[in-house]
Chains A and B, each alone.
Chain A
Amino acid sequence: MTSMLPYAVTHPIRGLAVAMAATVLFAASAIHATAAPPAGSMKVVDITKFAFAPKEITVAPGTKIVWTNHDDTPHSVAANDKSFASKGLDTDDRFEHVFVGEGDFNYICTVHPFMTGVVHVRK
């Protein structure tokens, strides 16, 4: 199967900001000896059969979520509050986003808006 050039994935500037925020968080947690998650914690969400799996996920602040499209049809990942948005993801393309602050982040595939998911970020 021929694959298209992957063209999604990273936001360099946002990634840098997230890395800095994670460093600050880590430093703060070290000082106060709290149980902050280790920097670089990662979770995976699969896009398959026109659905996000898992559809609902709860992660700690600082977690990076990586979405991968396994369908032959393009999909996208776009937050309802516009805090993150991928470009169109062809087969095997990935998109990642680091969730810094707590909150509930509803998102959809803008190509197929009936596809919904939610990320809960909790300490």
Chain B
Amino acid sequence: MNTMENRITRRQALSCLATWTGAAVVWTVAGGVPRALGATGDGMPAPAGNGDLTFVQISDTHIGFRKDANPDVVGSLRRAIGDINGLPQTPAFVVHTGDVSHLSKPEEFGKAREVLQEIRVDRVHTIPGEHDTIDDGATGYLRYFDHDGRGKSWYSFDHAGVHFVGLNNVLNFKLGTMAALGDDQIAWLKGDLANVSHSTPIVVLGHIPLWTIWEPWGWGTADSAQAMALLRPYGSVTVLNGHIHQVLQKVEGNVALHTAKSLAYPLPTPGQAGIGEPGPVTVPARELGKLLGIRQVNVVRGRHDLALIDTPLDH
């Protein structure tokens, strides 16, 4: 466990928190270049226009975690569900970008599925994180979250003219390397995209960032370059990741990559000085709700740009 006050000075800790606790920022991604439209003062996202596709990203619920960094992860998830159910425009669906469970236990998957059903949407699309594949790969996870019945932890679907791809990038590692998609999945992705026109907006879900943020902590995907090469010809690609429990972004041509907040506990910033490992950070209880949150994504019809609105639980 990292207890920030124990490892760095109070001034450093406050400085660090200040960067984490800003109000939600509305992002629009136009022509592949993200642009901040401004902060949402009350933390509530602006309503999308009629006919626009709206969906919500949640991530890293870690159901089963009960350490000091957050003794009530189910409570945090339920707060997020309250926010989602209260959105002015009902989202088409919710995506969960992995680490549904903390220890891949059946009771954790079962509890997660039960609570996720409280979200008033037709469906929740999940992908596995490394915490969901601990003992037997994706087998245990798929008993609860096999979305299309194919027995695979990667899949695609189309909605309102947008092509969605869910990936598993938490396995296929070699000794001492970062996890990878693996040859089978890359081949599948190539075949899947072969049927998608280059003008179709694409949204990719992957748990670990699909770009290398901090290799010493495994914050990257070993073969992400192969996936990026397949996505590069498309006019609008948005990659939604989890894993690092904080919001970061990167743009490569028409591909915009975004990580998301967790609903369980914060993690250090990449390679953060004074903290040598990517373990849960315990903050004062009143601060936790500012560091966890959800993301609303609006796809505006006729434009190949997505608006991302990150909202902390405390708003």
Listed in ascending order, the chain A residues whose CB lies under 8 Å from chain B are 1-2, 4, 49-51, 71-74, 76, 80, 87-88, 90-91, 106, 108, 110-114, 116
SS of A interface (majority): loop
For residue B284, CB closer than 8 A to chain A, the reply is no
Nearest first, the 10 A-B pairs at minimum CB distance are A88-B134, A113-B173, A50-B277, A49-B277, A72-B1, A114-B218, A72-B67, A116-B176, A87-B135, A72-B280
State the B residues within 8 Å of A (CB): 1, 64, 66-69, 71, 102-104, 130-131, 134-135, 173-179, 215-218, 276-280
Q: Which residues of chain A have C-beta atoms less than 8 A from B68's C-beta? A: 1, 72
Question: Is A112 in contact with B280, judged by CB distance below 8 angstroms?
Answer: no
Q: Is the CB of B134 within 8 A of A113?
A: no
- Closest chain A CB from B138 CB (angstroms): 13
Asked whether A114 and B176 contact (CB < 8 A) given A50-B277, A72-B1, the answer is: yes
Which of A49, A50, A51, A72 lies at the interface centre, i.e. has the most chain B CB atoms within 10 A of its CB?
A72
Q: A75's closest neighbor in chain B, by CB?
A: B134
**In the complex, what distance in Å separates the CA atom of A2 from the CA atom of B130?**
23
Q: Mostly helix, strand, loop or mixed at chain B's interface?
A: loop
Q: Are B175 and A74 in contact (CB under 8 A)?
A: no
Residues of B within 8 A of A91 (CB): 67
Looking at the complex, which one of A74, A108, A114 makes contact with B134 (CB distance below 8 Å)? A74
Q: Is the CB of A50 within 8 A of B64?
A: no
| B131 x A2 contact (CB < 8 A) | no
Cα–Cα distance between A49 and B215 once the two chains are bound (Å): 16
Q: Which residues of B contact A113 (CB under 8 A)?
A: 173-179, 218
Shortest B110–chain A CB gap in Å is 16
User: Which residues of B lie under 8 Å from residue A50 when comparing CB positions?
Assistant: 217, 276-279
- Nearest B residue to A78 via CB reads B175
| Residues on the A chain within 8 Å of B66, using CB | 2, 4
Please tell me if the beta carbons of B103 and A74 are within 8 angstroms of each other in the complex.
Answer: yes
Q: B280 to A73, Cβ gap below 8 A? A: yes
List 13 extra interface pairs beyond A4-B66, A50-B277, A114-B217, CB under 8 A: A4-B103, A49-B279, A51-B277, A71-B277, A72-B69, A73-B279, A76-B134, A88-B104, A108-B173, A111-B131, A112-B130, A113-B177, A114-B216
Q: Is the CB of B175 within 8 A of A80?
A: yes
Smallest CB–CB gap between A9 and chain B, Å? 14
**A114 and B178 contact, CB distance less than 8 A:** yes
Bound CA–CA A72/B173 (angstroms):
23
Cα A91 to Cα B69 with chains together (Å): 14
A77 to B64, CA, bound (A): 21
What B residues does A110 contact at CB under 8 A?
134, 173
Find chain A residues with CB under 8 A from B278 CB: 50, 73
Question: What are 20 A-B contacts defined by CB distance under 8 Å?
Answer: A4-B103, A49-B277, A50-B279, A71-B279, A72-B68, A72-B69, A72-B279, A72-B280, A73-B279, A74-B103, A74-B131, A76-B134, A108-B173, A110-B173, A111-B131, A113-B175, A113-B176, A113-B179, A114-B217, A116-B175
